Amino acid sequence: MIVVASSNGRVGIQAAMDVLKAGGTAVSAVEAGIRLVEANPEDHSVGYNSYPNILGELELDASIMNGRSLESGAVGAMRGYLYAITVARQVMEKLPHVFLAGEGAERFAAEMGHERASDLVREEIMAFREERLKRDMPAEVFDNLAQRSDLYEWVKLATDPQRTYGTVNFLAKDSHGDICAGVSTSGWAWKYPGRLGDSPIIGAGNYADNRYGAAACTGMGEMAIRACTAHSVVFYLKMGMSVEEAGKRAMADLNDLGGRFISRMNLVVLDKDGNSGGFTSHQDGTYIYQTADMDTYVEPNRTYVNIPARWDQEK
């Protein structure tokens, strides 16, 4: 049994391992671990008290994939409900669908009995948003953002390349050998309303298949969507590569992307035999893992793979 997570999963990895040790499934372990990150007010990239979109609205994305059946569930751009990973799991288990977005996701969350919350972002984050956006736009633009018909212009200025990452990944393998991958995020800070990243997109930010392994991404979701990164990693495992080879190969695919918006990417990987790894395009990243015989997690460095950042160089 093993749990692997992005380093901001520290607050949830023990709970995830406790689920596995009690005989619970990998799906339940992943959900338990991610819920604690979603509730953590110190993490501004996942769940409660995260950076909102450009209009100041918190929109949450999450997905979960059961590697035994390849069943999956996801929610995107969901407002007003905290535990996006649980709603994603319920989509997987209660509906004939895989992915609900926006009002549909919110309606479903209400039907599932989730409590609606109007106060998911604290004042300090809203004050930081105002201060940050006013660096790039006049006060009269900021004050009328919701009414503007040229929001697409302002979002380019307001989008902060230093806040295009974040997100939490959990991968788990249970006592039955079943593997699950889960991802939850609030997405880019100051994103365009309705923007979806890779986190809720199966194959982009999240993939699990018992026969080969699992992978999940944190970083600039647009890159992982374009390269189908999580699925690529699992495909490379399927082709017989090691965790190290598969992760590096998927990172190299990202380096081949063209275009003006290339930023950070990080992967966590778990193969069917319980080998894990982490990969990053910046120098100082770590990930965490804990096996059943460990009292606590360890936090190794991720393997660095250079992906030179490019940020709107044509501007």
Applying CB under 6 A, the residues found at the interface with ligand GLY are: 167, 185, 187-188, 197-199, 205, 218-221
User: Which lies closer to ligand GLY via its Cβ, residue 19 or residue 125?
Assistant: 125
CA triple 288-98-279, angle to 5 deg:
25
| Enzyme catalytic residues | 167
Contact 230, 217 (CB under 8 A): yes
Between CA 184 and CA 181 the distance in angstroms is: 11
CA triple 261-263-268, angle to 5 deg:
135
Q: How far is CA 224 from CA 57, 217, 252, 285, 293, in A?
A: 24, 7, 12, 18, 33
User: Which lies closer to ligand GLY via its Cβ, residue 92 or residue 265?
Assistant: 265
Smallest separation, CB 164 to ligand GLY (Å): 6
Smallest separation, CB 288 to ligand GLY (Å): 18
Q: Which amino acid is residue 211, in one-letter code?
A: R
Burial of 180 (0-12, 13-18, 19+ CB in 10 A): buried
β-pairing, 276-280 vs 303-304, is: parallel
Helix (H, G, I), strand (E, B) or coil at 155: helix
User: Which lies closer to ligand GLY via its Cβ, residue 81 or residue 188?
Assistant: 188
Smallest separation, CB 60 to ligand GLY (Å): 10
Between CA 281 and CA 261 the distance in angstroms is: 14
Contact 216, 181 (CB under 8 A): yes
User: Which lies closer to ligand GLY via its Cβ, residue 93 or residue 312?
Assistant: 312
Q: Which amino acid is residue 234, in one-letter code?
A: V
User: Which lies closer to ligand GLY via its Cβ, residue 218 or residue 303?
Assistant: 218
User: Which lies closer to ligand GLY via its Cβ, residue 198 or residue 253?
Assistant: 198
Would you mind telling me the total number of residues written for the chain in this entry?
315
Contact 82, 48 (CB under 8 A): yes
Smallest separation, CB 126 to ligand GLY (Å): 20
Smallest separation, CB 53 to ligand GLY (Å): 11
Contact 229, 202 (CB under 8 A): no
Smallest separation, CB 309 to ligand GLY (Å): 15
User: Which lies closer to ligand GLY via its Cβ, residue 201 or residue 237?
Assistant: 201
β-pairing, 213-219 vs 206-209, is: antiparallel
Beta strands in the chain (DSSP E): 2-6, 60-66, 71-78, 99-101, 168-173, 179-185, 206-209, 213-219, 261-262, 265-271, 276-280, 287-291, 303-304, 310-311
Smallest separation, CB 17 to ligand GLY (Å): 24
